[in-house]
Amino acid sequence: MADDTRADSIKAGPIKTDPIGADQIRNYAFAPHAIPSVAIDGSDARFPVHRIYCIGRNYAEHAREMGSAVDRTNPIFFCKPADAVVADGARIPYPPGTADLHHEVEMVVALHSGGSNIAAGDALKHVFGYAVGLDLTRRDLQAKAKEKGNPWDTAKAFDRSAPVSALRSTRKMGNPLRGKLELEVNGQLRQQGDISDMIFGVPQIIQALSKLFELTAGDLIFTGTPSGVAALARGDWFKARLEGIAELHGAIV
């Protein structure tokens, strides 16, 4: 049973955004939306989000639990809108159009630079830092899309579908090769893995993405989830952790 008291105790957390000055909007038909951004650990500055890329089935056990073959050759990518980011400690409304909202805990990579056709050996030079996040998924809509061979957009790219912790800069901790990735829901461990178990590591993900898109400063990359994905209900509270790097808290309301 969900712990409503704990969920209610988590503070409301609207996404903080960078202001846009009046001189920047005078030629627009209406005021543009503010730039989505993510907190940076130990800094008042914020990381402006350009795009959110995600990789699917990047842990073998998760691929198997979803009934898919383990593919070590062709990474599967999809995207979320930049304004899907949600700050740490937020109360996230249960999304419409689904009766089966699932959690997927992931390491998140943030880029300070980019380009096209980046070599794997150069990829980590573009990394600003790391965070932990959730790829929230309308699993029932994803299943229907898979059955018909349709895109996953409605299942993955909805409002507030990308909670992200504060970013930890590589200047503070380098580029992790291993570390526990965990998610608790209502105090119970749901997901546990190690980033060393990823099928495609961070350099390979950046290399593959840069062949399809021109990567740039402000891009976030969700790097896949270990096994143990399951449903979230209204009143549930969660705690995600990437060992030695970041924690993320929130609640579904």
Per-residue model confidence as pLDDT tens for the chain (253 residues) = 444 445 555 544 444 444 555 555 578 999 999 999 999 999 999 999 999 999 999 998 887 887 777 788 899 999 999 999 999 999 999 999 999 999 999 999 999 999 999 999 999 999 999 999 999 999 999 999 999 999 999 999 999 999 999 999 999 999 999 999 999 999 999 999 999 999 999 999 999 999 999 999 999 999 999 999 999 999 999 999 999 999 999 999 9
Q: In this structure, what token pair is assigned to residue 87? A: 């700050």
Query: CB 184: neighbour CB atoms within 10 A?
Result: 17
Domain map (residue ranges) of the chain: 4-252
CATH architecture designation of domain 4-252: Alpha-Beta Complex (3.90)
With CA atoms as reference, report the closest residue to 105 among 195, 213, 215. Answer: 195
Give the neighbor-by-neighbor strand order of the sheet with 237-242: 90-92, 246-252, 237-242, 180-185, 188-194
| Per-residue model confidence (pLDDT) at position 15 | 44
Helix (H) / strand (E) element for 191: namely strand 188-194
Measure the CA dihedral 173/177/180/183, to 10°. 80
Q: In this structure, what token pair is assigned to residue 228? A: 């143990």
Q: Which residues contact 122 (CB under 8 A, 6 or more apart)?
A: none
d(CA 54, CA 52): 7
